[in-house]
Amino acid sequence: MAEAEDKYRNLLAKQSKILVEAVNEYRRRYGREPPRGFGDWWKFAVEHNAKLVDEYDGMNEDLEPFWELPGEELRRRAVQIGNFPTINLVRLRDGKAVLMNIEKGHSEDTSSAKGFLRLIVKFQSKLPDMDFPINVLDQSRVLVPWEHRHFPNATEQNSSEFTPGWGGTGSVWAVFRRTCHPESQARRHFSSDQSISHGTNPGNHSDSTDFASESDDGFHFRKTLDHKFDFCNNPWAHFNHGHFFSNWRAIPALYPLFSYGKAPGFSDIRIPSHYYHNPTVQYSYAWDEISHAVKEFDDMEIPWQHKNNAIFWRGATTGGGSTPTGFAPTYQRHRQVRLTFRFHSGPNVAIVFSDPPNSTSYREANVPIATLNDEIMDVAFTKWTGFDKYPGGEAAMRKTHRFAEPVPLGYNWKYKHLVDIDGMGYSARFLAFLASDSAVIKSTVYSEYFSDWIQPWLHYIPLSQGYHEIYNIFSFFSGPTESMLQAANSSALYDNSIVRKAEDGDRRLRRIAQAGKQWKQTVGRTIDMEVYVYRLCLEWGRLWADDRDSMNFPLPGLS
């Protein structure tokens, strides 16, 4: 936590203060001139008090592959993919952006495209002509084969016969494997593709949480999130993530697609989610039902000292498709709910805690997981989908997963610990959770537009894909529970003068909650999303041109 605070403080301090510094920093990082309009963008960012004006490495990573395509070919691919199902096309001409009314043979959700239009309205008159294919779905879609990325002549691929569903003709994992190095485990082990292609759920993957990204002993806290997890060399891990089982086809070539997040190995271009800047009752902190707008303070927010100390999560059984069927029990949300189920029959969990509480003396004890879940976990599904795709149907799911009544978003603010887990794609509740005065424990394999801007262990607590360490996270911040003390035969059980609450841990947990809230108010604002998209548009406008050098930012006399 101390390292995280120092790292973020230093990051803020080293940001460019004037335009000349920003241009030089751009040149140093990316080895090219900034795009035309960079001066106007800088003025826009400074006027709106943007805190992180140099941190766009993720954007550069997203766009770098498209430098290999001529402008003419990029334009062709953008229009082609804009005609695909579940993709909308935003067209900018003469300083005005509109949603194209392309007939696709069925109704289309346009909320994502309309959200993008809202983000560019303030500066669209300053932008060159270009098109933006916008992903309607929450999950990332573009998977470029390794050979196509490393051999430019292999990038030519026509997807004009693209169909929206797999229809038994493949799967996301089968396409994903081709993005890996030919000598990687995912490419070398054909069985990793064969079992999933035939819908065979291997027994040893039925409840796997043995992730190789970190030790699985529960004592090693993650330093960051798993948005760069190497699935190519850990192919077994794909069984535990629903996005590999999507019903919607991946796009197996380098096509420009603007999406809200991307998992490791995908080549989508990240933009802010419309759920983050278009206030709604499901995804916005302090939503006012009367005015249908967001207020500064949520009516359901309560003081820290009155918040429940349990770990809280509610959500639907979404988290993946059903292509092939039979793998839902291993999806990320199902694993979380099953792990924290009060009747979980798993082995004891090794917990480290101070004993006596609030001392510098620490000990380890093995505690029954069912007892721990009963003490500290308040985790449940509220809505179910796809019972017919779940092995054993509804009865089997209800036997091993807790279900509870739905609650409004503000109900989360009653708890100090909020868990945030991927759904069909990225989690759209993350920024609302940060805006509250609760601490967020986040597990994800998705990176988003703000990934360069936020610091784990300062603004939130990162959680591994296997969730092993969640019990020790609780014991560190909130102190030992009754069952922990009993397992250790602690003197605190018999001495009423000993304060069991982890006073220092609680202060640290609240510090994370407050830092997350401050980040949302200063870096995660809607105007910061506009600053991000403004710069993205300038970069995209240069790539769109035939003569890209003519689209560089001229600043005479700059050394």
Residues 82 and 189 in one domain: yes
Query: What is the reported pLDDT for 385?
Result: 79
Query: What is the reported pLDDT for 212?
Result: 38
Residues 350 and 208 in one domain: no
Query: What is the reported pLDDT for 142?
Result: 96
Q: Determine, yes or no, domain membership for 279.
A: no
Q: Determine, yes or no, domain membership for 13.
A: yes
Q: Determine, yes or no, domain membership for 247.
A: yes
pLDDT in tens, 319-351: 888 899 899 999 999 999 999 987 777 778 999
Query: What is the reported pLDDT for 428?
Result: 95
Q: Determine, yes or no, domain membership for 151.
A: yes
Residues 176 and 320 in one domain: no
Give the chain's domain count: 3
Residues of the chain with pLDDT under 70: 101-108, 152-162, 189-217, 387, 556-559
Integer angstrom CA distances of residue 335 from 273, 346, 465: 26, 13, 10
Question: Of 240, 270, 300, which marks where a domain is finished?
Answer: 270
CATH of the domain at 432: 3.40.50
pLDDT in tens, 4-34: 999 999 999 999 999 999 999 999 999 999 9
- b/e 103-120 (16+ beta carbons within 10 angstroms → b): eeeeebeeebbebbbbbb
Residues 59 and 71 in one domain: no
pLDDT in tens, 77-131: 999 999 888 999 999 999 999 998 655 544 467 888 999 999 999 999 999 999 9
Q: Determine, yes or no, domain membership for 388.
A: yes
Residues 189 and 52 in one domain: no
Q: How far apart are CA 37 and CA 535, in angstroms?
A: 9
pLDDT in tens, 459-469: 999 999 999 99
Q: How far apart are CA 227 and CA 266, in angstroms?
A: 11
Residues 345 and 467 in one domain: yes
Residues 83 and 38 in one domain: no
Query: What is the reported pLDDT for 168?
Result: 80
Full domain range(s) for residue 394: 289-528
Determine contact, residues 381/316, Cβ cutoff 8 Å.
Answer: yes
Determine contact, residues 360/354, Cβ cutoff 8 Å.
Answer: yes
Residues 55 and 174 in one domain: no
pTM, rounded to two decimals: 0.93
Q: Determine, yes or no, domain membership for 277.
A: no
Q: Which ranges of 278-403 would DSSP assign to H, the alpha helix? A: 332-339, 369-376, 393-400
pLDDT in tens, 346-361: 778 999 999 888 888 9
Number of H helices, E strands in the chain: 19, 14
